[in-house]
Amino acid sequence: MDLCSQIANMLRGEQGLELAIIYGSVAAGTMHPGSDIDLALLFDQPLSAERKMEITARLERKVLRTVDIIDLSSISGTILKHVLCKGKILIQNEEGLFTLLAKKMIYNQTDMMPYVNRTLLERQRRFIDG
């Protein structure tokens, strides 16, 4: 059983889990012995810090690697784009969740990113010009 299938099987029993996406080196196929496992999870309610630590610890004990979990309900921008464009869906318990997140990403990219990019460019100019 490959690592993605193993992680998906471990997550299947998580109450309230609606979507699980693996991203980073595991999804890209470039994992090496020191690689961590990057997971983006969406639950029926925001993921509490306590539950996030419990899931992380349980997964780390099983796969013997560092696991980094992000809550899909609380991210946007570049990280959401990376997860959705480069990630691999492990679990989708409700049809259309990935599509809803993709719409959120596209809205952010078209509506908010021009302002973010302009702000970053202004900061770069101030830094360079002193």
| Total number of domains constituting the chain | 1
pLDDT at 129: 85
CB burial string 64-87: b at 16+ within 10 A, e below? ebebebbbbeebeeeebbbbbeeb
SS3 letters across 44-106: CCCCCHHHHHHHHHHHHHHHCCCEEEEEHHHCCHHHHHHHHHHCEEEEECCCCHHHHHHHHHH
The rounded distance, in Å, linking the Cα atoms of 99 and 129 is 43
pLDDT at 24: 94
For the domain that residue 124 is a member of, what is the CATH number?
3.30.460.10
> Average pLDDT per run of 10 along the chain, which is 130 residues long?
91 94 94 94 95 97 96 85 90 84 76 79 87
What range defines the domain where residue 35 resides? 3-129
SS3 category, 119:
helix
